[in-house]
Amino acid sequence: MTEPEPKKSTAAQRTVHDVHDARDVRDVRDRHDVNDVRPADSLADELDVRRAGATADGLDAHLVVQRGAFRLDVTLNVAPGEVVALLGPNGAGKTTALRALAGLTPLTDGRLRLDGSALDGTPPESRPVGVVFQDYLLFPHLTALDNVAFGPRCQGATKAEARAQAAEWLDRLGLAAHAGAKPRRLSGGQAQRVALARALATRPRLLLLDEPLAALDARTRLEVRAQLRRHLAEFEAVAVLVTHDPLDAMVLADRLVVVEHGRVVQEGAPSDIARHPRTDYIAQLVGLNLYRGEADGHTVRLDAGPPITTTEVLSGPVFVAFPPSAVTLYRDRPTGASARNLWHCEVAGLETHGDQIRADLTGELPLAADLTTVAAAELDLHPGARVWAAVKATQTHAYPV
Amino acid sequence: MTVPTDRSGAAADTIRGGLRRRRVRAQVRGVPLPLLVPALIGVAFLVVPLIALLVRAPWRSLPELLTSAEVWQALRLSLVCATAATAVSLVVGVPLAWLLARVEFPGRGLLRALVTLPLVLPPVVGGVALLMALGRNGIVGKTLDSWFGVTLPFTTAGVVVAEAFVAMPFLVISVEGTLRAADPRYEEAAATLGASRFTAFRRVTLPLIAPGIAAGAVLAWARALGEFGATITFAGNFPGRTQTMPLAVYLALQSDPEAAIALSLVLLAVSVAVLAGLRDRWMTAG
Amino acid sequence: MTRTARRTGRPMQVAALGVTALLALSACSSSDDSSSTDSGSSASASTSASDQLSGTVTVFAAASLKESFTTLGKEFEKAHPGTKVTFSFGGSDSLAASITGGAPADVFASASPKTMAIVTDAGDASGTPATFVRNQLEIATLPGNPDKIASLKDLTKSSLKVVLCDKTVPCGAAAQKALDASKLKLTPVSYEQDVKAALTKVELKEADAAVVYKTDVHAAGDKVEGVEFPESADAINDYPIVQLKDAQNTAAAKAFIALVQSAEGQKVLTEAGFLQP
């Protein structure tokens, strides 16, 4: 929403801000979008200039929707093949943004271009956009096959052609056996994949997913999340997903756009945002340390860094995540500690969020740790201080990539 | 919409089934008297007159009364006209219900009130209103007559018009209610898949609300079958052309009450048979 | 005003009576005995009350009597302060069915001996019915008689839309009698449920002509034009009136019948188009 007020000028904060200021162009651009009071046109021009090197492909949207007192004003630029997650609390305007992209909610102002052509005035049925709705909205009277064939049929394919295409999509998503099933006979995970197949079958240039995993129970969610990540990675056009779940966002998206009160408050790679939350909301929301590595039993070997011990038994490429609150800091190496995950780190920065302090650590393993102000004082934490960070295996979560 | 997973789904079904069975038993035991007594009075009030009709029916002379050609003529006309009126109501009424349920426009509430007015209008007044509009001298009928030579009063088409006028609001109300209950986002989902609004209506909404349409059609058909006032006022009474069963019953009552009861029984039997048949085939299927 | 009210209101009333009659028919015979003894005792009680007329007298009368009987009812109330005359106008058949079904009435004035016979046969009449007026048929045509209808035979032209009363109601039976007598075959567009319905169709110009009673043509004023035809002499309708056995107010009932038959009453009736008996 707004740049954090310049706080009491501690050394720690200055360090953090320095890091911010040195960040990539994208971040700087965000801040223009958020804070700049110049007319939208000149801003847009500037953005066009900035993007001039890139091709016109992908999504270039400035979504403005005024509804009563609520105003959504979000700028989104997504390249083909990129997956962007709109992350934010309920009522932040994420779904409105998604509906505006789909043409289901008209824009009050702004622009919407996809692969170089304007979509602003195009009705939803004529947009090359596919949507996976939160509760899928599979047509209950049609079989899985006919649900998927619906799009190709509407695009003019004959019944036989449409069905052949649909069968191919279902097969690709591992649902060939369920082609004849009505939606109510499908499990949550299957329904989710049918919904994805249905959206992909129209060969959209923009794929929108509204809380794609929210309707699933915790166990199914794990599997489906991993599958969905794979399918999204294969998708060659623009994908935008909306979620309030930071883990979904981090696993599925290449880039996060955090939306609060209708505005973009932060944008960047998941790890950046997790490490450097710019608002209290993000700090709480994105309170996760996320790593990628190769699993072998209980051990995950990171691409760069020490191994992490987990409770899950997996093999192959995985993500490991744990919340900053799971990290315990010690001034001296703990003796006889049960935690097998113990790393020697250096404090790179400190930030206050409510009554919590988030410590940004570098060293053996870069990570974020949350601790109370009292604990921080006891540990005498300051940038440059060296600490031991421990995480119990039970507090980590590993997921297949 | 929550979609149970494969594994938990079966278990949930079992649990739900168990609950349902238990609930049924609990319901029978636990109906409070202040509800049960009026309910039973209601049943008696509706059913006793029908039983009385059966008890007082001239069973011995019934075969003789019912073999007359006029009875079958009237019955056939009733069935044909009620079905045609229902068809007309469907063709016009379903789109009207969609308009009322799905499109925001000024005066929608007023329009809804207007089109459902025939529900409260005494049918005879409806018949007179139809004469004023579609009669030979009516505001629209005049043009129909002079341009196309079509006059509706005293014709079988007139019967259909009168019955549709009275029966259509039942269908519109029923279908509009179903449409409002149906999730409009299915239409949005269809739109994102490239379906125009009409395609979405035809291929998604229509199948979704089919049970509601069927219920509305049955209501409309039953209302049309029993329609008397508007029919006799607008279409008159001529055996084989405009004399439907209710008209035959009414006129028989003037001279031969036994014949009137016999005719009523036929109408009753046919309606019960048709409604029960439809219920089995449509309602449970949906 | 009154005409409009009658046109729309009356068939509804008839329909309602029809329903009443239907329900009454299906349940009447079991209650016959008890109801007749009950009302018999209360009737004698009211007779012995006094010679001074008071209370309400309920008259069931054929629809065609509506205008003239309403006038007579007002005169009666004026002549006997403290009395009130309530009317139920309808098709004679429906009224007869209501009476035999136990509807509370003191006087029944019917449009045909046949419908009166329903009541007398059921033993619901007290004494013998007396014919108090007669009614003759007339052809009602559109104002100005654009189709130049001059005789009953003219009605058989196929280009004309003619409505008749249903054969089950007196005006229909009478019309059929007249047609039979002159060996004419007439196919109407509709057999209407009563004479007012038939007349309404001409008033609304939906039909070109209707065979109705002279009194109805009279009552319709200039909305229709009457054409007399000689064959109507073969089908003159007698209107009988009778006091009912279950009458609650016999004294007033007798007085009302007397008024109808008096010179004063006959004057009102002939003005409405009725013939003297």
Contact C10, C88 (CB under 8 A): no
* Per-residue pLDDT, A287: 66
Query: Does residue A43 carry a pLDDT above 50?
Result: no
Q: For residues C125 and A61, what is the distance between their CA atoms, to the nearest angstrom?
A: 92
**With bands split at pLDDT 50, 70 and 90, how would you rate the model's confidence at A2?**
very low
* Per-residue pLDDT, A337: 56
**With bands split at pLDDT 50, 70 and 90, how would you rate the model's confidence at B243?**
very high
* Per-residue pLDDT, A56: 67
- Asked if residue B54 is part of any domain, the answer here is no
Question: Residue B194 is nearest to which of A140, A202, A215, comparing CB atoms?
Answer: A202
Max distance between CA atoms of chain B, in angstroms, equals 71
- Asked if residue B42 is part of any domain, the answer here is no
Query: What tokens were used for A21?
Result: 């200021």
The model's pTM: 0.69
B27: left (phi over 0), alpha (psi -120 to 50) or beta: alpha
Q: What sign for the dihedral angle of Cα B38, B42, B45, B50? A: negative
Q: Which amino acid is at A108?
A: T
Which of A149-153, B139-143, B211-215, C115-119: highest mean pLDDT? A149-153
Residues C15-35 have a mean pLDDT of 40
> ipTM value of the model?
0.74
Query: Does residue B285 carry a pLDDT above 50?
Result: no
Domain span including residue B104:
66-285
Percent of residues, chain C, with pLDDT higher than 70 = 82
> Which has the minimum average pLDDT: A291-295, B62-66, B91-95, C29-33?
C29-33
Higher pLDDT, B102 or C25: B102
Q: For residues A243 and A256, what is the distance between their CA atoms, to the nearest angstrom?
A: 10
Query: Does residue A20 carry a pLDDT above 60?
Result: no
Query: What tokens were used for A81?
Result: 């093949």
φ, ψ of residue A384 in degrees (nearest 5): 100, -15
* Per-residue pLDDT, A36: 37
Query: What tokens were used for B52?
Result: 């009385």
**With bands split at pLDDT 50, 70 and 90, how would you rate the model's confidence at A275?**
low
Q: Which amino acid is at A210?
A: D
Specify the CATH class of C137-234 in words.
alpha beta
Does C22 sit within 8 Å of B237, measured CB to CB? Answer: no
| CATH 3.40.50.12280 matches C55-134+237-271 | no
**With bands split at pLDDT 50, 70 and 90, how would you rate the model's confidence at A339?**
low
Contact A372, A357 (CB under 8 A): yes
Q: What is the pLDDT of residues A158-192, one digit of tens each?
A: 999 999 999 999 999 889 999 999 999 999 889 99
Query: What tokens were used for A237?
Result: 């056009």
Does C7 sit within 8 Å of B236, measured CB to CB? Answer: no
- Asked if residue B228 is part of any domain, the answer here is yes
Distance from CA of C206 to the nearest CA of B (A): 6
* Per-residue pLDDT, B262: 86
Query: Does residue B79 carry a pLDDT above 50?
Result: yes
Residues A284-296 have a mean pLDDT of 76
- Asked if residue B12 is part of any domain, the answer here is no
With an 8 Å CB cutoff and a minimum of 3 pairs, decide whether chains C and A touch.
Answer: no
Across chain B, mean pLDDT equals 85
Instruction: Name the 3-class secondary structure at A342.
Output: strand
* Per-residue pLDDT, A10: 34
Q: What is the pLDDT of residues A362-388, one digit of tens each?
A: 888 888 888 888 888 888 888 888 999
> The domain that contains B221 carries what CATH number?
1.10.3720.10
- Asked if residue B31 is part of any domain, the answer here is no
Does B193 sit within 8 Å of A154, measured CB to CB? Answer: yes
Distance from CA of B135 to the nearest CA of C (A): 6
Query: Does residue C12 carry a pLDDT above 80?
Result: no
Chain A residues 166-195 with CB within 8 Å of chain B: 183-184, 186-191
Query: Does residue C32 carry a pLDDT above 50?
Result: no
Distance from CA of C60 to the nearest CA of B (A): 16
* Per-residue pLDDT, A126: 92
Does B124 sit within 8 Å of C15, measured CB to CB? Answer: yes
Question: Residue B255 is nearest to which of C93, C188, C190, comparing CB atoms?
Answer: C93
Report how many domains make up chain B: 1
**With bands split at pLDDT 50, 70 and 90, how would you rate the model's confidence at A91?**
confident
Residues C199-224 have a mean pLDDT of 91
Q: Which amino acid is at A66?
A: Q
The yes-or-no answer to whether C55-134+237-271 and C137-234 have a common fold is yes
Q: Taking the mean position of all CA atoms in its chain, how far away is CA A73? A: 19
Residues C256-276 have a mean pLDDT of 91
Helix (H) or strand (E) holding A226, with range, is helix A218-234
Contact A389, A328 (CB under 8 A): yes
Across chain A, mean pLDDT equals 80
Q: For residues B230 and B131, what is the distance between their CA atoms, to the nearest angstrom?
A: 10
Helix (H) or strand (E) holding B197, with range, is helix B197-200
* Per-residue pLDDT, A241: 94
Residues C90-105 have a mean pLDDT of 86
Question: Residue B2 is nearest to which of A151, A215, A219, comparing CB atoms?
Answer: A215
- Asked if residue B33 is part of any domain, the answer here is no
| Optimal mutation site among B121, B166, B237, interface C, most CBs of chain C within 10 A | B237
Residues from chain C contacting residue B239 (CB–CB below 8 Å)? 191
Residues A240-249 have a mean pLDDT of 87
What is chain B's percent helix, strand, coil content, to nearest 5?
80, 0, 20
- Asked if residue B21 is part of any domain, the answer here is no
* Distances, alpha carbon C108 to alpha carbons A29, A318, A336, C111, C122, in Å: 98, 100, 115, 10, 14
